[in-house]
């Protein structure tokens, strides 16, 4: 099932990520992150039944995606990414709002995620959407300097 992007009425459809989407997703992943996920991680997330969604523009081009796990009333955003040419046009906010709606429909009451303290864009997005900082996980991410902490954020749904 696909739904129209809700938050800002952007011209996009949100649909399940299929294994056949992984090459297009990987192209974005590698252009957006310094330490990208591998194809195998996306495949495992799809096979594990996580909520894996892609954002398609009218012409069927994938421009963003998100991966979320759910369990025991908690949802966890594991990946949320907008292709660089489409960033800062509202798609991240719209996709995150749609993932929050999806988590609510699946009975989650809290949404968690981790973010690098250095990720200015993501921190701005999560701040705008009302996430609160819960804790710091030391040395969670690889970085050029060795490791970087993760901020753990949460938001009631």
Name residues contacting ligand COA, limited to 63-82 (CB under 6 A).
80-82
Q: Which of 105, 100, 106 is nearest to 156 (CA)?
A: 100
126 part of the active site: yes
Structure token digits, residue 87: 């960033």
Q: How far apart are CA 157 and CA 75, in angstroms?
A: 10
Write the binding mask 12 to 51 for ligand COA: x where contact by CB under 6 A, - elsewhere. Answer: --------------------xx------------------
Structure token digits, residue 121: 């864009």
Q: Determine if 134 is a binding residue for ligand COA (CB under 6 A).
A: no
Q: Which residues contact 54 (CB under 8 A, 6 or more apart)?
A: 14, 15, 16, 17, 21, 25, 62, 64, 65
Catalytic residue among 65, 126, 140, 141, which? 126
Q: Determine if 52 is a binding residue for ligand COA (CB under 6 A).
A: no
The residue within the footprint of ligand COA, chosen from 93, 133, 143, 148 (CB under 6 A), is: 93
Binding site for ligand COA (CB under 6 A): 32-33, 80-82, 87-93, 115, 119-122, 124-125, 128
């Amino acid at each position: 099932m696909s739904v129209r992007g809700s938050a800002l009425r952007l011209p996009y459809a949100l649909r399940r990520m299929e294994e056949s989407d992984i090459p297009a997703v990987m192209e974005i992943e590698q252009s957006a992150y310094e330490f990208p996920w591998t194809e195998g991680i996306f495949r495992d997330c799809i096979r594990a039944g996580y909520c894996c969604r892609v954002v398609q523009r009218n012409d069927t081009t994938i421009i963003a995606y998100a991966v979320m796990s759910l369990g025991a009333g908690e949802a966890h955003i594991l990946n949320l990414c907008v292709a660089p040419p489409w960033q800062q046009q509202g798609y991240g906010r719209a996709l995150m709002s749609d993932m929050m709606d999806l988590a609510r429909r699946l009975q989650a009451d809290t949404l968690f995620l981790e973010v690098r303290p250095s990720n200015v864009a993501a921190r701005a997005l999560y701040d705008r959407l009302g996430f609160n900082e819960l804790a710091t996980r030391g040395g969670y991410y690889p970085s050029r300097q060795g490791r970087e902490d993760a901020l753990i954020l949460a938001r009631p749904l």
